[in-house]
Amino acid sequence: MTQRLLLSKHPFLSLPYSRRKGTSSGRPPRGATKAAAKDDDVNEETSSFSPGSNLLRTSTGGGGVGTYYQTGDVIKEEYVVKDLLGTGSYGETLLCEHLVGNVREEVALKVLPWESLKKMSAGGGANNDASPWKALDSFERESKVLQSIDYETIPKYVEHFEIEKGTKSGDLEFVLVQKVAKGKSLTELVESGTWRPSEPFVKKMLVQLLETVSYLETLRPPVWHRDITPNNVIVDMENETISLVDFGAVAESAVSGGMEMTRVGTSVGTFGYAAPEQLQGRVGKKSDQYGVGSTILFAMSGCPPSAFPSERLKIAFRGRVTIDDRDIERCLDILLEPLPEDRFRNAKEALELLERGAQRREEMKNNSTRNGSTSRQQDRYYDDEYYQEDDGYYDNRGQYYDPYDPYYGRTTFGAPGFSTTISSELESKRPNRRKKPANTKVQVYRNEDTKELAILIPPAGFTGNSAMSGGFAIAWNAFVATWTVGALASGGAFFALFSIPFWLAGGQMGKSFIDETFESAEISLTDTDFNIVTRTIGKKEYVNDSGSIEDVSGAEVIVESITNGIPNSIISMEVGAKSYKFGRGLKPVELDFVAGEINDFVDKR
């Protein structure tokens, strides 16, 4: 074997980019790791040119015999082949022993033969002539990026080179050498059926992944991994650390000309773990956040993201995965947002959310120890959605938040002058505890020692909204009455029957006006049971029910109806399969406050 030029100097790769146009797609190489992993599904839109596709497939040859090398073969006079880590469509990954003087260390060699590229490209597809160039482009880009990376959770780059075998012209092999990541892949651990990670350990993995992504973001130009999956996360149980491998799908933001999102030509990534924009052939600085979130969700649930139902294109994991740490739950909720603009601005911001949650609990613990209660926390209360500083409120993205703006973060549905009842699934949220809004008439009594919570919501009385609703209901019913009387007076009793649906709608409007104006509610929660009583005009007790506190899952703010384009929100307290609705007439900030108190009490039992 004769060593030749480095990959970056090879005449094939010095051709104009237009001749080897395109970027890598299909399953990226599995990276430098000793762990064997199973094949995972790949987006059907991708082609299979990747030089390292399925490179972590478990070797069936006990002696480590591969297609191109046998156990004991020596590469470049310093790498002794020991075993086969995996094979792919275009090449192999070998476990080798690196001979450096008297020091011997294990490394992973990714071998990409040019002959196999030509054979595979000749086997099918309209773009066969481009596939070898795409594969080499991906290989070259991975080598280049790994040279610039020096981080503890990413296996170190050793070198890359090319060798010529035999005398046939062009009989080349491209080789990339990396250190071996210690441990097993997250996929292998979860699918073993015996590994049950604790939440503190999962949080460590989440923090380390976010720190890794944050490091890649700080590079100039920033680097996007694009294929963060359980197969590419290697877990070292002994040291409780992780390694991120397989940079075969890597992209640099330089190719986008400084844009936050760039089109890469072909979709790259693993289905279920790739961000939605990647499946559209686009990638941006927030795409890796989605991979981190879906990978951690897999670690906590043991199920791939595709096994979860979706609500409004978002993975609906809440209530289906037991997560006691609310910081992890809130962080995953943002990481898994389908739209990039709804995720964190960067990975550092996600880390700050997790750190702020830990500081918040420590502060609450200190206040409780010092004062015997958490009442002081009301003066400066942090939660996962909003927190208070000296100059006002901010949300978890650092944006200014006005708690008294009824339209903050809300979507207006419906046309002006028309009232529409919509499903609570369209607009709902589960608020966290927050500071009590000023000038509210809602009374909250809470005793942490006896674990009791009492909430009194008085009637809202006549307000601008209720006056609008009442006026519209009167006008509607007056019009229907006039039409009905006219039909009856003209002897058209049959035609008068057509007014029945309009009378029903008018009756519902009148009921909504009465409830919004005169409804009051009393909610009592203890460590063992709950009791809810709502009253309205003409009925002493509209609802009077009680039951076990174990059945109460929390409270949500939902949109009950739309009037004149303005959403009318209420609180829905979920008790088993039944929902108790109250809080009509309250302002949005008051609804969030009441629901947050209920959720905090239920979560802390």
Summarize the annotated binding site for ATP as residue ranges: 110
Give the single-character DSSP code of 43: -
User: Contact at 8 Å (CB) between 159 and 177?
Assistant: yes
From 299, 330, 301, 292, select the one nearest 431 (Cα to Cα).
330
User: Contact at 8 Å (CB) between 90 and 116?
Assistant: yes
Residues annotated within the binding site are: 110
Give the single-character DSSP code of 168: S
Question: Can you give the length of the chain in residues?
Answer: 605
How far apart CA 93 and CA 419 sit, in angstroms, is 64
Looking at the DSSP bridge assignments, the partners of residue 556 are 572
Angle at 367 between CA 363 and CA 371, to 5 degrees: 180
For residue 350, the SS3 value is helix
How far apart CA 450 and CA 147 sit, in angstroms, is 60
Angle at 343 between CA 560 and CA 352, to 5 degrees: 110
- 363, with CB counted inside 10 A (0-12, 13-18, 19+), is middle
- Phi first, then psi, for residue 104 (nearest 5°) are -125, 125
User: Contact at 8 Å (CB) between 204 and 198?
Assistant: no
Pairing of strands 157-164, 103-113: unpaired
Question: Rounded to 5, what percent of the chain is helix, strand, coil?
Answer: 35, 25, 40
User: Contact at 8 Å (CB) between 521 and 534?
Assistant: yes
How far apart CA 72 and CA 80 sit, in angstroms, is 6
From 455, 426, 422, 431, select the one nearest 441 (Cα to Cα).
455
For residue 594, the SS3 value is helix
User: Contact at 8 Å (CB) between 520 and 487?
Assistant: no
Q: What's the maximum distance between 2 C-alpha atoms anywhere in the chain?
A: 111
- In whole angstroms, how far apart are CA 183 and each of 155, 203, 244, 248, 558? 12, 18, 11, 20, 46
Give the single-character DSSP code of 242: E
For residue 287, the SS3 value is helix
